[in-house]
A and B are shown apart, each in its own frame.
Chain A
């Protein structure tokens, strides 16, 4: 009830994105922080977040002690236990009873968390372990779950974290640009920036948090991450503001929807604030811009020749929309989102995207050590949509993209017998218009954003239901209520193996009225060759640029070959970094900030 009052009285349902001066920003941040923490102050549900706030605010220390008694009886959750328990302890230890402090310490002796098998797991694991080892220095191995002394644990954690930072700032982040995994990386860095006793790690925590938030800020629009993502869950893939990362946009950028998600509780309680320059980059969409990035494929452990091949991300962002794409192929198993246009409309479904729903034991065995023949069943335990032909997240070896500014060509050359033999497109229910023009273009309007989709092959429309079973969840992810079912979105499905489409996105401020966009598209019909092993498109876009694209990697713009390997780590009007540099240069008007990880310096 109290939460509803907050929502109705103090916070508008969606937040406008006007740049605030620093003092106002900081004041508003505090308001949002108080709003986020409010329900945890009085909640009787046993949880580390509730305990943290009740200790910190001294609203009910006895109850918080009782909570810990329950929670620490049988700790569970592995690295998802490590950072909440340390976050709580670091924020609240001064107000905890000696018995509760001892119980937390004892848990680090008796409970052995799994380290996990991927970058976000390791970041949480070692970020938390480093802070724990600092809190309890000088202990022998017998006092720790893994038999290592405080010194050994601290040194190992520090070495991992420094190595992760080095790789990220030289060849890119592995689980990059994930609206749903942003918290798993940023929370450990925020905790380090505030609580690390080692000055180097404190500074590194701050710099990495700045790095991650700036990476997000430049691809941010109205609370949404713009992408091309390594990982995203349903339903956030089609309801973008539901992703955990959007909670961080709310807290740090003041955009999107108010949320009291536990993911943003420690950042809300903590002292870390993003630099002013990062905030301004996140908010200022007065001028459309192109931004390019290079990221890194998750560790390939077999069936490949390179451990971390590059990912190339291209984004075009305006005040109304962001069109963004990865180059295609398998860049991250299971939850890849290769391209989408996301727009500002104030409605829940703010995206159009397409994919080839694909799965295979080979794909998984490339990245995971389990047996190729059994691994799909393993993965489906936690990622239930993986082998669902109707899924909305997927990588595919048969998909490639070519983006130039706000035009995109996507091609498919699918091998027969592949799971699956169709491609899908998502069209939301809350579009203002969805017209199939006699020219072949599907022309859509969402607020001031116009999207044209030219299918290269015949297709069908399927009514799209959103059900709890499709909105499969993992840990703490939003999902629909039982029994809730929504009809109204549309699935474009095409069953041809040699396939593709052309996407054009413009806004009212760029092209004028919607009818003009539709009229203009009629004059721009792509020419395609769609034969097995020979899939290509020749297309002149609305701005007169000629895009010739041959599957898989023949990209020509106005007669010049596009060489993706020349992409820098970051390249655009706001953020720049060379591959291998360990140095991120951030600029916004007369503001400048350089994160130099080699020299371990922040220059302004």
Chain B
């Protein structure tokens, strides 16, 4: 009887632990075998629970050049995929999907949902920024140019940053009007805001390394200490410990900082590929980090980025990894 009770208790604890796990998403734009129009292997949006280790499930359309993913703020059922075909949306956790954009919006590279108001959606694309205030039903073209990402200031939804071919731009009116910040460097590939100190932002650039601003983009400083590479596609904070920051890019492997991004060290033990396109830290478990690679699927570290191992989607170009808390 005692033994049975113990097993039941153990199972309860385990299921509770599993229930608290986030869902990890990965967007695969292509595999090593991708050719437009050819019988390509499955690509698109994949997901897993961390406890599933190397097992991934597919949802949504295949072969759509899935570049990004974002989630509605509350229910966990609303998911958006940024893709070559436009913006896909599900409102039922992936049971059915609809393309929310028309022919005018193509090569969608990223999608951002305002964390405070899920009706506000921003698309970054090869042709600019599009804004929707009705969960993607209608769109307004609010900026023209090549845009890699849009970030909503987590302290103020009217304040947005965007990484573009022409530099870092910002909007203070919720995305209607955009202006350049003082960063003179162009070709910005990604941006990241400190999870608690809203004035600290980082910019990852093509050919110009990493830049940091401590005053919300008024002034910028190039981060030199320990950075030996030039092209970065991603920066990620550990939400539980914002001093722990990760970065990756072209031929960089993983860069790791333990002082909030002031100085960096490379950390790539176990990585079999050094092109990193996206990094995300499990918000429920400090030190569990996922890295999307160009050509070798997803890698995971469980020790704060010191060692890495492949957890599936091998051979894939994974553009984005993201987590959704359940």
A interface vs B, CB < 8 Å? 76-81, 112-117, 121-122, 126, 141-142, 145-148, 156-157, 159-160, 163, 301-303, 369-374, 378, 381-382, 474-475
CB–CB B106/A115 < 8 A: yes
Asked, given contacts A112-B64, A369-B109, whether A378 binds B99 with beta carbons under 8 Å apart, the answer is no
Q: Is there a chain A Cβ closer than 8 Å to B46's Cβ?
A: no
CB–CB B294/A79 < 8 A: no
CB–CB A371/B294 < 8 A: yes
CB–CB B84/A115 < 8 A: yes
CB–CB B63/A112 < 8 A: yes
Excluding A126-B103, A369-B125, 14 further A-B contacts by CB distance (< 8 Å) are: A112-B62, A112-B63, A112-B85, A115-B84, A115-B85, A147-B97, A156-B103, A373-B251, A374-B275, A378-B317, A381-B33, A381-B35, A382-B35, A382-B38
Asked, given contacts A117-B107, A303-B165, whether A77 binds B39 with beta carbons under 8 Å apart, the answer is yes
CA distance A77 to B39 in the complex (A): 6
CB–CB A301/B126 < 8 A: yes
Q: Is there a chain A Cβ closer than 8 Å to B36's Cβ?
A: yes
B interface vs A, CB < 8 Å? 29-30, 32-40, 61-65, 67, 84-86, 96-99, 102-103, 106-107, 109, 125-127, 145-146, 165, 206, 231, 233, 250-251, 275, 277, 294, 317
CA distance A78 to B165 in the complex (A): 30
For B99, the chain A residues whose CB sits under 8 A away are 146-148
CB–CB B126/A114 < 8 A: no
Q: Shortest distance in angstroms between A479's beta carbon and chain B's nearest beta carbon?
A: 15
Contact of B63 among A78, A163, A303, A474 (CB under 8 A): A78
Closest 8 CB pairs of A and B: A147-B98, A112-B61, A302-B146, A160-B103, A80-B37, A373-B250, A382-B35, A301-B126
CA distance A163 to B127 in the complex (A): 17
CB–CB B96/A76 < 8 A: no
For A475, the chain B residues whose CB sits under 8 A away are 35, 37-38
For B233, the chain A residues whose CB sits under 8 A away are 371
CB–CB B64/A114 < 8 A: yes
CA distance A1 to B39 in the complex (A): 30
CA distance A337 to B109 in the complex (A): 31
For B36, the chain A residues whose CB sits under 8 A away are 78, 114, 116-117, 121, 382
CA distance A159 to B251 in the complex (A): 43
Contact of A122 among B96, B98, B103, B109 (CB under 8 A): B103
CA distance A378 to B96 in the complex (A): 31
Sampled A-B contacts (8; CB under 8 Å): A77-B37, A114-B84, A116-B36, A126-B103, A301-B126, A302-B146, A374-B250, A474-B35
Q: Shortest distance in angstroms between A152's beta carbon and chain B's nearest beta carbon?
A: 9
Asked, given contacts A112-B64, A369-B146, whether A147 binds B37 with beta carbons under 8 Å apart, the answer is no
Contact of B39 among A76, A114, A156, A157 (CB under 8 A): A76
CB–CB A142/B96 < 8 A: yes
> Which residue, A117, A160, A373, has most C-beta atoms of chain B within 10 A?
A373
> Which residue, A80, A117, A303, A371, has most C-beta atoms of chain B within 10 A?
A371
* Residue in A closest to B166 when the chains form the complex, CB atoms: A302
* Residue in A closest to B86 when the chains form the complex, CB atoms: A115
CB–CB B84/A159 < 8 A: no
Q: Shortest distance in angstroms between B296's beta carbon and chain A's nearest beta carbon?
A: 13
For A121, the chain B residues whose CB sits under 8 A away are 36
Main secondary structure of the interface of B (DSSP, over half): loop
For A372, the chain B residues whose CB sits under 8 A away are 206
Asked, given contacts A79-B37, A374-B250, whether A114 binds B107 with beta carbons under 8 Å apart, the answer is no
* Residue in B closest to A474 when the chains form the complex, CB atoms: B35
* Residue in A closest to B250 when the chains form the complex, CB atoms: A373
Q: Shortest distance in angstroms between A373's beta carbon and chain B's nearest beta carbon?
A: 4
* Residue in A closest to B99 when the chains form the complex, CB atoms: A146
CA distance A253 to B142 in the complex (A): 48
Contact of A371 among B62, B125, B146, B250 (CB under 8 A): B250
CA distance A196 to B222 in the complex (A): 58
* Residue in A closest to B90 when the chains form the complex, CB atoms: A147
Contact of A148 among B34, B35, B98 (CB under 8 A): B98
> Which residue, A112, A141, A142, A159, has most C-beta atoms of chain B within 10 A?
A112
Asked, given contacts A126-B103, A147-B99, A148-B98, whether A114 binds B33 with beta carbons under 8 Å apart, the answer is no
Q: Shortest distance in angstroms between B5's beta carbon and chain A's nearest beta carbon?
A: 48
Q: Shortest distance in angstroms between A77's beta carbon and chain B's nearest beta carbon?
A: 5
* Residue in A closest to B36 when the chains form the complex, CB atoms: A116
For B30, the chain A residues whose CB sits under 8 A away are 378
CA distance A117 to B106 in the complex (A): 8
For B61, the chain A residues whose CB sits under 8 A away are 112, 145-146
> Which residue, A301, A369, A474, has most C-beta atoms of chain B within 10 A?
A369
Q: Shortest distance in angstroms between B249's beta carbon and chain A's nearest beta carbon?
A: 8
CB–CB B126/A369 < 8 A: yes
CA distance A159 to B317 in the complex (A): 33
For A369, the chain B residues whose CB sits under 8 A away are 67, 107, 109, 125-126, 146
Asked, given contacts A76-B39, A112-B62, A371-B250, whether A381 binds B34 with beta carbons under 8 Å apart, the answer is yes
For B32, the chain A residues whose CB sits under 8 A away are 381
Asked, given contacts A112-B61, A112-B63, A115-B84, whether A302 binds B103 with beta carbons under 8 Å apart, the answer is no
> Which residue, A122, A302, A303, has most C-beta atoms of chain B within 10 A?
A302
* Residue in A closest to B64 when the chains form the complex, CB atoms: A114
Q: Shortest distance in angstroms between B91's beta carbon and chain A's nearest beta carbon?
A: 10
CA distance A122 to B35 in the complex (A): 16
* Residue in B closest to A158 when the chains form the complex, CB atoms: B103
* Residue in A closest to B165 when the chains form the complex, CB atoms: A302
Q: Shortest distance in angstroms between B311's beta carbon and chain A's nearest beta carbon?
A: 21
* Residue in A closest to B32 when the chains form the complex, CB atoms: A381
* Residue in B closest to A78 when the chains form the complex, CB atoms: B37
For A474, the chain B residues whose CB sits under 8 A away are 35
Asked, given contacts A302-B146, A369-B109, whether A146 binds B37 with beta carbons under 8 Å apart, the answer is no
CB–CB A146/B294 < 8 A: no
* Residue in B closest to A155 when the chains form the complex, CB atoms: B102
CA distance A415 to B210 in the complex (A): 30
CB–CB B98/A141 < 8 A: yes
CA distance A76 to B206 in the complex (A): 35
* Residue in A closest to B145 when the chains form the complex, CB atoms: A302
CB–CB A117/B250 < 8 A: no
Q: Shortest distance in angstroms between B153's beta carbon and chain A's nearest beta carbon?
A: 25
For B67, the chain A residues whose CB sits under 8 A away are 369
CA distance A156 to B102 in the complex (A): 6
> Which residue, A76, A81, A370, A378, has most C-beta atoms of chain B within 10 A?
A370
Asked, given contacts A76-B39, A115-B85, A117-B84, whether A146 binds B98 with beta carbons under 8 Å apart, the answer is yes
* Residue in A closest to B67 when the chains form the complex, CB atoms: A369
For A117, the chain B residues whose CB sits under 8 A away are 36, 65, 84, 106-107
* Residue in B closest to A113 when the chains form the complex, CB atoms: B63
* Residue in A closest to B31 when the chains form the complex, CB atoms: A381
Q: Shortest distance in angstroms between A110's beta carbon and chain B's nearest beta carbon?
A: 10
For B85, the chain A residues whose CB sits under 8 A away are 112, 114-115, 146
Q: Shortest distance in angstroms between B185's beta carbon and chain A's nearest beta carbon?
A: 15
Q: Shortest distance in angstroms between B165's beta carbon and chain A's nearest beta carbon?
A: 4
